[in-house]
Structure 1
Amino acid sequence: MKKKYALLGLILFLTVQSSVSARSTTTEEPASLVISTQESAVSAQNEVGGENEKDEGPVLPKIYQMRVDTNISNRYAKTLITSKVKNLSPKSQEATFSIVTPDKAFISGFVMEIDGKKYEAYVKEKEEAKKTYDEAVSSGFGAAHVAVSARDSNRFTVSVNVEPQSKATFYLTYEELLLRTSNKYELVLNIQPGQPVKDLDVVVNIAESRPLKFVKVPSLRSGNEISKNDSKIDPEADIKTVNETAAVVTFKPDIAKQKLLASGLGGEEKNGLSGQFVVEYDVVRDPQGGEVLVDGGYFVHFFAPEELTPIKKQIIFVLDTSGSMSGTRISQLKDAMKSILGELHPEDTLSIVEFSSEIKVWNIETERVTYKEGESPFWGGYNKPPVEKLDILPESVVASPENIKKATEVVNKLDAFGGTDILTALKVGLKVVGTNKNPQQNHPIIVFLTDGEPTVGEVSTEKIISTITELNSGQVPIFSLSFGDGADRAFLQKLSLKNEGFARHIYEAADANLQLENFYKQISSPLLTNVTFKYVDNNNVYNISKQKFPIFFAGSELYTTGIYDGSDFLPPGVEAWGINGPIILKPKVYQATGNLERLWAYMTVRQLLQQREVDKDKEPATQAVLKLALKYSFVTDVTSLVVVKPNETSAVNTEDAAKDTSRYPYSMNLPKSGVALKAGSPNSYPVSSLYSARSGITGRFAALGPSGFSGMPMYQFAAPQSIHASGFGGTSSAGLPGLAGYRTTPLYPRAPPQYASTPSPTLQIDSGVGIRTEEENFDITDISPTTTLAESSSLPWLKDVLNENGTITINEATYPLGQNETLGLGDTCTNSVNTTNGQCTLLHECKVIQSYLTDFATYKQHFCEIKGFAGVCCPLPQP
């Protein structure tokens, strides 16, 4: 069949449903990315592999460049993934661009470049797609999945036809807040191109408002299992310190290095590098009240006190020992529990509750069960033997060395059988909390683990949540762990959110015990309880995110954000309860690096989505999310990504990236090295990508995509027009140099709409789940890169202040930009970033400062004149 190009309007509906272990969005209606042709599934199948076609196998598309540029500022990240591929085959082939994004990331821009034309996506409301999805399915549109494995992630997939000897380029932008765990921020980048790549380049720019404490690049990780440092897989990344608050990390392995690392990770050299590139860092912070960053009427308060003594805790382990936990699962649970028991502090107290059809509370000191509710599944009705009455509820015991040894023996006695009575188990767990005679001294915490759904007693998860939330009047944090694929993650997430905790997913793998141990480390040292951020009334502070937190753990971080009126920001007081009683902490206020507006929007949307998940009436939170998501171009549970692209693509759905490829009835035959992998750390959020190519042969696919990226804050990239990308640090992507703050204004004006010579109905696939035909043509923006500073750098405001002759006016004087000049360093100046000393240079010659210049007013603060040209006071490099 001859390929024809026609323009179709398509809505890419992203799944934000992923592993509950890292997500906070609702799972009520999983979203899906749908791209459909106007051909039926049958005709599409005939075209791909008809009986009369000779199966010669395609010449797989070649990736000739992959770039991942990430900029980090104020713990907020923006990542631009650029991937370029060429079809070397004499036949047209379908290239599938598939990216695994971090679970908590919002995609905010997508552009495809096909045959020199660029097609830009935009965000719209999700609900409009729901009807169209049903229409697409009922019309018999073909569907296919590109599935690889990755933990705590979502998948974005789109396909496009590439003509013989033609090229395609994909640009994807996403952004997220980086969460702090184990005393560090961690950026995890999955790299699985499926082949050695000549030009593979990763650049991570860090520019924080506070001094950097350290920046590290550990050994590469294999992916789906937790691993330790290994000198054989040292990436040998380059780390350069720009100044005390900024650093640049680069990773550019040649083909020989890629093959060496692939072998060290246990892969095949011919499939190229397949592993995780990790950047770790932390900042110097106020040891007490944290720091408040302010800029342009927005503020964010990061709170991570360090010089505090941990409070004592009462920890109740409520462990599922039903029949489904038998075998490997119960063995891994025992191994993890033994390690966790060894980590308890001597001043802590603990209890062990196991549940199946029966709920048993162990008296650790006697190593016997002294309290039981429910009945054994082996007896019922007639001939039931007499059962010893067990109604003595044992107190939690001190975690002394002797009791830890006895608790280990109790763990060894755990056996898996019976059903799953979750409601009674949690009720009993709350009863055990009541044995705590001094909750102010030992703060109660429940760790609840299950691998399934309720099958005994109350089976309605909504009823279980409402009952436990009502009974938990003391607001005891319940931390839920879902073990394996059988657990109801959405239920456990909602249960924990309603009860002052959070949920994590434990993947059923060889490292499950290590995942459990790592989870416990996050909650092992509570420092404060009942933490409340209180703001001075005359600040006129409003639109504030969450202000009350039940507990703060060492090594983590709390944050709140909002908007304020007035020129002076009065710092809030942080009230909490510490080991010696109530305390009040005062933070320090600093001017932020870069613009905070998008950071505020991200935090607000993320917390609204979390609220939406637990609210019975979801409409208020939904409308609030929708308003902000449309304004800031975030793809969320309630919004969709709409893209205009060439015709002839198959239907594609996004899904939980942790799903096994074997579950999909599609002949993908993906090479193993193309599998997107993810480390076990709860805050390692991977992004990877791959391409698949088809050319008349079913079952022949190739992983060709760019590396993927996880979990960190960053600056505005230079990217194709209106991709909402951002950048920092003199990197370039696809010939698009530059950097900038967080704003999402298009880099230069949109080109006029282009229409097909014969208008035809456009096909829409919305972020919900559907397809709709409309008599309209979408605006296709010509965004060919240029070399002018105003157009191709991430200084979107510059185009608005340029005079017709390319000059700018400052203080009633006119200066040329000198974009084609090379003047080097000029005179010393004192108005660089944070009022430090610098040297005057041309704007385009000081890449490092561009991310700070979020608007014209900010630029004027750092302006200087150099030989008659408009310059900028460029910060001096760190000695």
Structure 2
Amino acid sequence: MLHYFKITLVEHKCYKVYIRNNLTGRSNIFRNMKKKYALLGLILFLTVQSSVSARSTTTEEPASLVISTQESAVSAQNEVGGENEKDEGPVLPKIYQMRVDTNISNRYAKTLITSKVKNLSPKSQEATFSIVTPDKAFISGFVMEIDGKKYEAYVKEKEEAKKTYDEAVSSGFGAAHVAVSARDSNRFTVSVNVEPQSKATFYLTYEELLLRTSNKYELVLNIQPGQPVKDLDVVVNIAESRPLKFVKVPSLRSGNEISKNDSKIDPEADIKTVNETAAVVTFKPDIAKQKLLASGLGGEEKNGLSGQFVVEYDVVRDPQGGEVLVDGGYFVHFFAPEELTPIKKQIIFVLDTSGSMSGTRISQLKDAMKSILGELHPEDTLSIVEFSSEIKVWNIETERVTYKEGESPFWGGYNKPPVEKLDILPESVVASPENIKKATEVVNKLDAFGGTDILTALKVGLKVVGTNKNPQQNHPIIVFLTDGEPTVGEVSTEKIISTITELNSGQVPIFSLSFGDGADRAFLQKLSLKNEGFARHIYEAADANLQLENFYKQISSPLLTNVTFKYVDNNNVYNISKQKFPIFFAGSELYTTGIYDGSDFLPPGVEAWGINGPIILKPKVYQATGNLERLWAYMTVRQLLQQREVDKDKEPATQAVLKLALKYSFVTDVTSLVVVKPNETSAVNTEDAAKDTSRYPYSMNLPKSGVALKAGSPNSYPVSSLYSGFSGMPMYQFAAPQSIHASGFGGYRTTPLYPRAPPQYASTPSPTLQIDSGVGIRTEEENFDITDISPTTTLAESSSLPWLKDVLNENGTITINEATYPLGQNETLGLGDTCTNSVNTTNGQCTLLHECKVIQSYLTDFATYKQHFCEIKGFAGVCCPLPQP
């Protein structure tokens, strides 16, 4: 017998893993089962590819996608619970509700995706939940609700997980794997059996920092339910600490190519301004609207809406030193000065013209370069270096190559004709209209041929930087584009990185562009991080030239160089994230965060070099909207993961990430998500799914539907397993906790798993945060050391509640009346429902225990606490007395 479920996490493709019982040898997993067996337990491994793994990279447009899959399904009635007139086999699952709730506070977005489905078939069916999350997002919560019971995830160390997986496999428990990625994102998919006419609900929470590009923050939610959904609802709550400059909802996007606004695909979302710092965006299309939008996006009406829902906004900011938000001993500094004159730049384009760039790629490169050349400022200077087996530097003024290294592979050293010696390295030329015209002619002459000598190309690029007579006036920047791996000269990417980093003593930013699937993204990411830049991936599609143009726009106007955040010593500031940034571009934003002691925060001075020389800018200090602790944790973890990528000794950064990720329930490259299924099983460990055992994938052409049902088996005798993975991916695992409320590790769990509460704009808690810390990492200068990950004291350590540590479960929960609840020590929920069991039997309002200081002195023991206990959104609360008039 077997229990079948699918987990998918693949780059651009979707694979299915079938779990088969090796005890019976039966491989027909679709056999109808007439008997039901007790579910003994299962472990699912879900692996999400990290943003800097060998197969992915950072990109400028994060996306979140709500989809699922269906197979061999036929249409059911429109209403959930309707009966089919004929038994035609598997029935199309009916998604009767899909909700996307996003709360944005302090530029930090926390998204909850809820999908509710009913099995309309008279047979047991497989329900599949599939989500694509932004590549910079941390999944922080997952819950399955089946037959009225919730099974909640918690985070454990990946190495610890390995033991559990081995034990589970040797014991015969089923294990499966997930793998997938879409453009700029990762896919999370999990499947589970649902009984006939029964319902299943899936909740997934992820968190991300919204990066500012082109003078705006952008939240992208890619929604593809695969069928019209009767109750499709998207709500975005924005509650910022600073006044909102604007809030916009542009036309829907296809999700795969850059598109412009089109009235045919206008979502007509409702935007309500609550006050100067808060707004609510609502998108609730009925079935007719969903079909209309599907048609406008080029899809079929029967498949429902399929596109990206986008919210854009910006805040009013200090035009000089930015603003520092403070709360509870934590601070975050957002720096985006506007009233500055762009500095001049020397830009060196190092372009791959090897044989693999022939055809469409070289044509798209030429089109993009022509547009980019037209965007250069007249005071800028530029150079063009093309490379294949030979490296050529063009003299733009004469439209000829005057410097060359390497040899053409055409002759191979045999009967090679004499060639002109080319050893005159041309200087960068001013971007005057005449020179731009000549540079355009140079671009037209580029031809794809030969191998790929990356090391020599970058060495020559740095030589060209040396022709800059005054780097303080024209700041050098290298834009490096390639579609492949090194094949000529030095082919070791590690040696290339170390050599170029050593030669780049002037710390010239190198921005790397990987073009198409053949490029080594991990290599380019590390190369740029070690050399003060960042990497972007250019997808090989019809809009590749637009992707290149959009990338250039981000770096077209440098405003400051050598930006340093200076903190006053008597602030006693510590655990500060990245403080030095090589360059700041117009329309973007720099961030730094940390912990401070004392009630008064002295703002740092920001030292930088502008167009007229050194400057010092002073920020303003504001009280944050909501709690900043998780924001600090997110930004710190994100920086540590970057540091871990470039460090030779990865252990210190790994341990620092692990310490924070376990405390704040972040799923990262070094932690795993563990969920329990319906057994009395106690603690379950997980394993690193880093082995590529995907030799039996079932390739699927996926119609995208929010949740799919597939004929399956309700029984679950122990079965053998098959799992696969990709190196460097974070992993998720499922087993069965003692209770749905057992979240563990710091008490954090997903808050909005219950009916949507009205937003609290004045005190909206800051969601968990993610950050791309800007450009470049110099770990030898800025090693991050976590000596104390939090200035706060947990409830169990509090002297006012000494009994609490004796009643805590191992995972940090407490059990009351045979139910288990997390304490929510990292949550900020505010006041809940009215209650009548407060002190002296007075009325009160239910709050989290740590949010009601006034009652803690009354709670002398566990028995007394239980008298005043109340539940607030699944957490253990207390009936907090109302203030006396």
Structure 1 window deviating more from structure 2 (664-673 vs 84-93): it is 664-673
Listed one character per residue, the Cα deviations across residues 25-61 of structure 1 (whole Å, up to 9, x for unaligned) are: 9999999999999999999999999999999541011
Structure 1 window deviating more from structure 2 (777-786 vs 395-404): it is 777-786
Q: CA deviation at 1:158?
A: 1.1
Contact 2:274 2:280 in 1 (8 A): yes
Q: Hey, what does 1:784 align to over in structure 2?
A: 790
Structure 1 window deviating more from structure 2 (26-35 vs 84-93): it is 26-35
Structure 2 CA distance for partners of 1:440 and 1:56, relative to 1, 3 Å: same
**In structure 2, C-alpha distance between the alignment counterparts of 1:629 and 1:232, rounded to whole Å:** 44
Unaligned runs of 5+ in 2: 1-32
Q: CA deviation at 1:669?
A: 3.8
Listed one character per residue, the Cα deviations across residues 613-652 of structure 1 (whole Å, up to 9, x for unaligned) are: 0000000000000000000000000000001125999999
Q: CA deviation at 1:821?
A: 26
Q: CA deviation at 1:222?
A: 1.1
**In structure 1, C-alpha distance between the alignment counterparts of 2:94 and 2:569, rounded to whole Å:** 60
Structure 1 window deviating more from structure 2 (9-18 vs 525-534): it is 9-18
Contact 1:78 1:715 in 2 (8 A): no
**1:235-250 alignment to 2 at 5 Å?**
235-250=267-282
**In structure 2, C-alpha distance between the alignment counterparts of 1:758 and 1:594, rounded to whole Å:** 5
Q: CA deviation at 1:17?
A: 2.7
Structure 2 CA distance for partners of 1:652 and 1:62, relative to 1, 3 Å: farther
Structure 2 CA distance for partners of 1:654 and 1:745, relative to 1, 3 Å: closer
Listed one character per residue, the Cα deviations across residues 60-110 of structure 1 (whole Å, up to 9, x for unaligned) are: 111000001100000111111111000001111111111100111111111
Structure 1 window deviating more from structure 2 (535-544 vs 809-818): it is 809-818
Structure 2 CA distance for partners of 1:48 and 1:297, relative to 1, 3 Å: closer
Contact 1:17 1:27 in 2 (8 A): no
Q: CA deviation at 1:463?
A: 0.4
Q: CA deviation at 1:128?
A: 2.5
Contact 1:94 1:649 in 2 (8 A): no
Listed one character per residue, the Cα deviations across residues 435-493 of structure 1 (whole Å, up to 9, x for unaligned) are: 00000000000000000000000000000000000000000000000000000000000
Structure 1 window deviating more from structure 2 (118-127 vs 758-767): it is 758-767
Listed one character per residue, the Cα deviations across residues 654-702 of structure 1 (whole Å, up to 9, x for unaligned) are: 99999999999525342267799999999999999999xxxxxxxxxxx
**In structure 1, C-alpha distance between the alignment counterparts of 2:290 and 2:350, rounded to whole Å:** 46
Structure 2 CA distance for partners of 1:30 and 1:874, relative to 1, 3 Å: closer
Structure 2 CA distance for partners of 1:359 and 1:45, relative to 1, 3 Å: farther
Listed one character per residue, the Cα deviations across residues 693-746 of structure 1 (whole Å, up to 9, x for unaligned) are: xxxxxxxxxxxxxx999999999999999999999999xxxxxxxxxxx98789
Structure 1 window deviating more from structure 2 (568-577 vs 745-754): it is 745-754
Contact 2:159 2:688 in 1 (8 A): no
Structure 2 CA distance for partners of 1:744 and 1:628, relative to 1, 3 Å: farther
Q: Hey, what does 2:839 align to over in structure 1?
A: 833
**For 1:47, what is the secondary structure of its paired residue?**
coil
Listed one character per residue, the Cα deviations across residues 854-873 of structure 1 (whole Å, up to 9, x for unaligned) are: 99999999999999999999
**For 1:41, what is the secondary structure of its paired residue?**
coil
Q: CA deviation at 1:155?
A: 1.3
Structure 1 window deviating more from structure 2 (770-779 vs 390-399): it is 770-779
Q: Hey, what does 2:8 align to over in structure 1?
A: none
**For 1:48, what is the secondary structure of its paired residue?**
coil
* TM-score, scaled relative to structure 1: 0.74
Contact 1:13 1:32 in 2 (8 A): no
**In structure 2, C-alpha distance between the alignment counterparts of 1:616 and 1:853, rounded to whole Å:** 51
Listed one character per residue, the Cα deviations across residues 770-812 of structure 1 (whole Å, up to 9, x for unaligned) are: 9999999999999999999999999999999999999999999
Contact 1:59 1:89 in 2 (8 A): yes
Q: CA RMSD in A?
A: 12.9
Contact 2:572 2:596 in 1 (8 A): yes
Listed one character per residue, the Cα deviations across residues 156-189 of structure 1 (whole Å, up to 9, x for unaligned) are: 1111001110100001111111110000000111
Contact 1:676 1:689 in 2 (8 A): no
1:139 aligns with 2:171: yes
Q: CA deviation at 1:380?
A: 2.3
**In structure 1, C-alpha distance between the alignment counterparts of 2:691 and 2:415, rounded to whole Å:** 46
Structure 2 CA distance for partners of 1:453 and 1:788, relative to 1, 3 Å: closer
Q: CA deviation at 1:508?
A: 0.5
Structure 2 CA distance for partners of 1:627 and 1:194, relative to 1, 3 Å: same
Structure 1 window deviating more from structure 2 (423-432 vs 771-780): it is 771-780
Contact 2:49 2:726 in 1 (8 A): no
**For 1:486, what is the secondary structure of its paired residue?**
coil
Contact 2:395 2:402 in 1 (8 A): yes
Structure 1 window deviating more from structure 2 (815-824 vs 667-676): it is 815-824
Structure 2 CA distance for partners of 1:79 and 1:568, relative to 1, 3 Å: same
Structure 1 window deviating more from structure 2 (621-630 vs 131-140): it is 131-140
Structure 1 window deviating more from structure 2 (206-215 vs 32-41): it is 32-41
Contact 1:727 1:794 in 2 (8 A): no
Contact 1:41 1:142 in 2 (8 A): no
**For 1:20, what is the secondary structure of its paired residue?**
coil
Structure 1 window deviating more from structure 2 (744-753 vs 535-544): it is 744-753
Contact 2:643 2:779 in 1 (8 A): no
**In structure 2, C-alpha distance between the alignment counterparts of 1:859 and 1:867, rounded to whole Å:** 18
Structure 1 window deviating more from structure 2 (835-844 vs 207-216): it is 835-844
Q: Hey, what does 2:90 align to over in structure 1?
A: 58
Structure 2 CA distance for partners of 1:608 and 1:442, relative to 1, 3 Å: same
Q: CA deviation at 1:407?
A: 0.4
Structure 1 window deviating more from structure 2 (38-47 vs 229-238): it is 38-47
**In structure 2, C-alpha distance between the alignment counterparts of 1:230 and 1:869, rounded to whole Å:** 45
* TM-score, scaled relative to structure 2: 0.73
**For 1:752, what is the secondary structure of its paired residue?**
coil
Listed one character per residue, the Cα deviations across residues 310-357 of structure 1 (whole Å, up to 9, x for unaligned) are: 000000000000000011100000000000000000000000000000
Q: Hey, what does 1:13 align to over in structure 2?
A: 45
Contact 1:350 1:396 in 2 (8 A): yes
**In structure 2, C-alpha distance between the alignment counterparts of 1:776 and 1:40, rounded to whole Å:** 55
Contact 1:220 1:234 in 2 (8 A): yes
Q: Higher RCO, 1 or 2 (CA under 8 Å, sep at least 6)?
A: 1
1:520 aligns with 2:552: yes
Structure 1 window deviating more from structure 2 (745-754 vs 665-674): it is 745-754
Structure 1 window deviating more from structure 2 (364-373 vs 23-32): it is 23-32
1:798 aligns with 2:831: no
Structure 2 CA distance for partners of 1:385 and 1:537, relative to 1, 3 Å: same
**In structure 2, C-alpha distance between the alignment counterparts of 1:137 and 1:29, rounded to whole Å:** 39
Q: Hey, what does 2:7 align to over in structure 1?
A: none
Structure 2 CA distance for partners of 1:103 and 1:362, relative to 1, 3 Å: same
Contact 1:147 1:659 in 2 (8 A): no
Structure 2 CA distance for partners of 1:353 and 1:767, relative to 1, 3 Å: closer
Q: How many residues align?
A: 853
**For 2:731, what is the secondary structure of its paired residue?**
coil
**For 2:75, what is the secondary structure of its paired residue?**
helix
**For 2:64, what is the secondary structure of its paired residue?**
coil
1:716 aligns with 2:733: yes
**For 2:721, what is the secondary structure of its paired residue?**
strand
Q: CA deviation at 1:587?
A: 0.1
**In structure 1, C-alpha distance between the alignment counterparts of 2:311 and 2:565, rounded to whole Å:** 31
Contact 1:206 1:247 in 2 (8 A): yes
Contact 1:65 1:197 in 2 (8 A): yes
Listed one character per residue, the Cα deviations across residues 288-329 of structure 1 (whole Å, up to 9, x for unaligned) are: 000000000000000000000000000000000000001110
Structure 2 CA distance for partners of 1:824 and 1:61, relative to 1, 3 Å: closer
Structure 2 CA distance for partners of 1:10 and 1:838, relative to 1, 3 Å: closer
**In structure 2, C-alpha distance between the alignment counterparts of 1:345 and 1:49, rounded to whole Å:** 63
- Fraction of identical pairs, as percent: 100
Structure 1 window deviating more from structure 2 (118-127 vs 779-788): it is 779-788
**In structure 2, C-alpha distance between the alignment counterparts of 1:53 and 1:418, rounded to whole Å:** 65
Contact 1:212 1:281 in 2 (8 A): yes
Contact 2:80 2:120 in 1 (8 A): no
Structure 2 CA distance for partners of 1:26 and 1:222, relative to 1, 3 Å: closer
Q: CA deviation at 1:403?
A: 0.4
Listed one character per residue, the Cα deviations across residues 3-25 of structure 1 (whole Å, up to 9, x for unaligned) are: 74655666655545356599999
**In structure 1, C-alpha distance between the alignment counterparts of 2:66 and 2:497, rounded to whole Å:** 34
Structure 1 window deviating more from structure 2 (501-510 vs 140-149): it is 140-149
**1:245-256 alignment to 2 at 5 Å?**
245-256=277-288
Aligned counterpart in structure 2 of residue 411 of structure 1, from 428, 443, 467: 443
Contact 1:76 1:176 in 2 (8 A): yes
Unaligned runs of 5+ in 1: 692-706, 731-741
Structure 2 CA distance for partners of 1:224 and 1:789, relative to 1, 3 Å: farther
Q: CA deviation at 1:540?
A: 0.5
